Copies of this chain bind each other. A is one copy, B any other.
Amino acid sequence: MGLTVKATIASFGGKLFKLSHPSTSTGTDMAVNLYLPPQALKSQTKVPVLFYLSGLTCTPDNCSEKGFFQHGASQRGLAIVYPDTSPRGLNLPGEKDAWDFGEGAGFYVDATQEPWAKGYKMDTYITRELPSVLFGADSEFGKYLDADKVSITGHSMGGHGALTLYLKNPGMYKSVSAFAPIANPCECAWGKKAFAGYLGEENKEEWKKHDATELIKGEKWRGHKDARVLVDVGTGDNFYKQGQLLPENFEKAVKEAGVEGVTVRYQEDYDHSYYFMASFSDEHVDHAAKYLGLL
């Protein structure tokens, strides 16, 4: 359970901690970055927490350097947690063969198929183990983090992760937002490849349990009046144009299910990159801050 501090970096008046810890979910050491805003460090009080889930190939460092979330986190007074996107170093056969499956591409599900069932447990890692590691009694950072005020966001595969972990676990997170999420993985190439590999080619009913467009239609959310969901998609995003994101399918499901409190915005000309996220990260931090009692 022990956290090792690999680096401490001053950023926007707070500190970014590059951390590592042994994980029982993945059977590997896991890297994670934690940003503590000045409000936490100076007043030694607990602040709300926003989990940011990264996209394909990314490590905790990409968004820490290029996402600009620390700017908004420092303004509003919340901490940001940047987990990794998969176990690394399991050395499973084929683990490094593709950029959209295996290492760097855990898809935030618990794999049931061999060899992936050995360690690719990113749902359990993000929702159960990592919070206990960061917020628990053994954590030197626990005194800064309010375990009862947590929201979640993410980008691309991480947008899928944020939406599905939120929708699967009502009450665990106060709100959710996503940038260019894979909103209907059961129907796009990335999702079909990942779910076939991690969950089994034939288990289509199981796939639906990890698909935001399917989950929003389920009994937990049908007719819900305060879903607290914000999604941004760039109209210049090539992956959107290629049908990997399918936000319209999610919007259609929201309407059919009579769910309220879901905002999907299409940002003209923006692409799939961190240039897009940096341009709107303040607004996503504010979306979380509103439901975390900071606005």
Contact = CB atoms under 8 A, between A and B. Distances in A.
Interface string A246-273: 0000000000000000000001111101
A141 interface: no
A68 B12 CA distance: 11
A197 interface: no
B270 A12 contact: no
Nearest to A16: B275
A220 interface: no
Interface in A1-36: 9-13, 15-16
Is chain A's interface secondary structure helix, strand, loop, or mixed overall? mixed
A274 B68 CA distance: 11
Contacts of A16: 275
A198 interface: no
Interface in A59-85: 65-66, 68, 70-71
A168 to B, nearest CB: 33
B65 A10 contact: no
Contact of A236 (B10, B270, B276): B10
A11 B65 contact: no
Contact of A68 (B15, B68, B268, B270): B68
Nearest to A282: B71
Contacts of A268: 10
A45 interface: no
B66 A9 contact: no
Interface in A110-126: none
Q: Which of A16, A234, A274, A278 has the most CB of B within 10 A?
A: A278
B68 A271 contact: no
B10 A274 contact: no
A279 interface: yes
A33 B290 CA distance: 36
A182 to B, nearest CB: 21
Contacts of A273: 9
Interface of A: 9-13, 15-16, 65-66, 68, 70-71, 234, 236, 267-271, 273-276, 278-279
